[in-house]
Amino acid sequence: MKIEVGQKAPDFSLFSSDKSKITLSEQKGKNVVLLFFPQAFTGVCTTELCNVRDNIALYNNTNAQVFGISVDSIFTLGKFREDQGLNFPLLSDFNKDASKAYDSLMEDFVFDMKGVSKRSAFIIDKEGIVRYAEILNKVTDLPDFDAIQKTLAGLN
């Protein structure tokens, strides 16, 4: 199902790399940035998430909680987070439920891999409404970080 700005965000519960269960609907009261990405330890994904790491103050200043989401296991995500010094949670969508709910599941990836998350970005406001949605069809493209920051600034 295509995610539209203005709709209620699909809820999900996923485990983070520190083995905590995170439920989207329990994040009410803060803005949430969801960054779906194909796979840990790949070049563009590392660039994307390190950009967020290096600019985390921009997200913190807009009362935004960032979550990176991929179909990698919590163990892989834990090692990736540690190696890159990421300062926000990574969530494992190993069963692909959240990726499907956000129309962010790529059927075919490199080396005949099936079913990884499409690179995409969503902003969910304090009331659980989608305020920004960007799904990229090329794995080498990065989300529009300027548009994300502009949207977040407009929510506060």
**CB 95, CB 74: distance < 8 Å:** no
- Section 127-140 average pLDDT: 93
The pLDDT of residue 110: 52
Which single residue is written with the structure tokens 């083995």? Answer: 19
Residues designated as active site: 45
Share above pLDDT 70 across residues of the chain, in percent, rounded to a whole number: 95
Domains of the chain: 29-155 (3.40.30.10)
Percent of the chain with pLDDT over 90: 84
Q: What is the pTM of this model?
A: 0.94
The model's pLDDT over 88-116, given as tens digits with 9 standing for 90+, comes to 999 999 999 999 999 998 876 655 666 78
